[in-house]
Structure 1
Amino acid sequence: MAEPYVLVLYYSRSGATATMAKQIARGIESAGMSARLRTVPPVSPDTEASLPAVPDTGAIYCSQEDLAQCAGLVLGSPTRFGNMAAPLKYFLDGTSDLWLSGALIDKPAAAFTSTGSLHGGQETTLLSMLLPLLHHGMVFAGLPYSEAALHHTRTGGTPYGASHWAGQNNSPLSDDEAALCQALGKRLASLAKKLS
């Protein structure tokens, strides 16, 4: 049997969400579980397949099998008008076979996001990612206030999941944001061990 892993599945356009995904993976692995980083291709109006099956750089594209076999899932997206980005939603819309088979029922899940403005819809984006996870029967986990950074962060960080305020200049993660990403990863790894 394959080693259990937590899938960190994200879409990133400017790199901030990808940076968060790597911090979350660090947290997962520090808790003694493997992290599998995967992304999704951009949505295109082309009617012909025009993108390579494997991206030139960064994480490879997620397969249905990556998702079906995970012990837990952390889902990430930049904010698009208070919602997850279309490429991630497009991927999730194609997971009805997993829904029908119940492949994700009782597995832990969490979400993370990055915004260009401080009040740019971080919490609504996290909640928008929660909806398909609940339909799949997953157990959603946020960040508890036992995480000290939630009390003093001046950038991103919510009890609904990890977040980042990139600003107009695509600022790097603050120390609090990085700590909360890692804490979310640790929490998902711990829950995945308990629920599997």
Structure 2
Amino acid sequence: MNNKARSKKALQIGVVYFSKTGHTEQLAKAIIKGIQNTSDIAIIEHNIRDDEIVNGRFCNELLFQQLTDCDAITFGSPTYMGSVAAQFKAFLDSSSDLWEKQLWADKWAVGFTCGAGLNGEQTCTLQTLFTFASQHGMLWLGLDKPSLGKEKLNRMGCQIG
């Protein structure tokens, strides 16, 4: 899309996540608040619900269409047993029709996670999200913050999220 066309359309960012205990939702809400502090950005927020998973498959075609219309997608899941939650994995797996057509190619992608342990294999969860985004041809935006910087935004030194 050229810059002239881009200036007429507000950026649209999807924030899709699963949260069982509310911790991942708190992170998602903080991300959304940060986005809302920037003008001309529309947000599509979706917390994956158990009733959207039928026979192990995530079913919400409207959400997939909304995310396809976004310029960027933020993915969030708690870390369970070293990876994304099963509910979020069902969402990832159900995107295969979009993958086949590469409908998310060239969109920006970001991921976030949380876990009970200091490490808890959260990096493995982020790597799952990174791999998923790469398979879709998305452009991953890393953290790009030094681990010992003044802001202390990356105290564990993980650059992918």
Counterpart check, 1:71 vs 2:71 = yes
**How far apart in 2 are the matches of 1:26 and 1:124?**
26
**How far apart in 2 are the matches of 1:46 and 1:39?**
16
Q: Which residue of 1 aligns with 2:113?
A: 113
**How far apart in 2 are the matches of 1:45 and 1:21?**
21
Q: Which residue of 2 aligns with 1:128?
A: 128
Deviation at 1:101, TM superposition (A): 2.2
Kindly tell me: are residues 120 and 68 of structure 1, through their superposed partners in 2, closer, same or farther at Cα, counting changes over 3 Å? same
Q: Could you give the per-residue CA deviations for residues 120-172 of structure 1, whole angstroms, max 9, x where no partner exists?
A: 11111111111111110000011112673235x4xx773221xxxxxxxxxxx
Q: Which residue of 2 aligns with 1:34?
A: 42
**How far apart in 2 are the matches of 1:72 and 1:45?**
24
**How far apart in 1 are the matches of 2:11 and 2:97?**
21
**How far apart in 2 are the matches of 1:67 and 1:20?**
19
Q: What is the aligned-residue identity percentage?
A: 31
Calculate the TM-score normalised by the size of structure 1: 0.66
Calculate the TM-score normalised by the size of structure 2: 0.79
Q: Which residue of 2 aligns with 1:181?
A: none
Contact 1:109 1:133 in 2 (8 A): yes
Q: Which runs of 5+ in 2 are unaligned?
A: 1-7
Aligned letter for 1:93? D
Aligned letter for 2:103? A
Q: Which runs of 5+ in 1 are unaligned?
A: 48-52, 55-60, 162-196
Q: Which one of the candidate residues 18, 28, 37 is aligned to 1:21?
A: 28
Q: Which residue of 2 aligns with 1:137?
A: 137
Aligned letter for 2:22? G
The 5-angstrom pairing of residues 43-54 of structure 1 reads: none
Q: Which residue of 1 aligns with 2:104?
A: 104
Kindly tell me: are residues 46 and 160 of structure 1, through their superposed partners in 2, closer, same or farther at Cα, counting changes over 3 Å? closer
Contact 2:14 2:74 in 1 (8 A): yes
Superposed CA RMSD? 3.0
What is the DSSP-based 3-state SS (H/G/I as helix, E as strand, rest coil) of the residue aligned with 1:75? strand
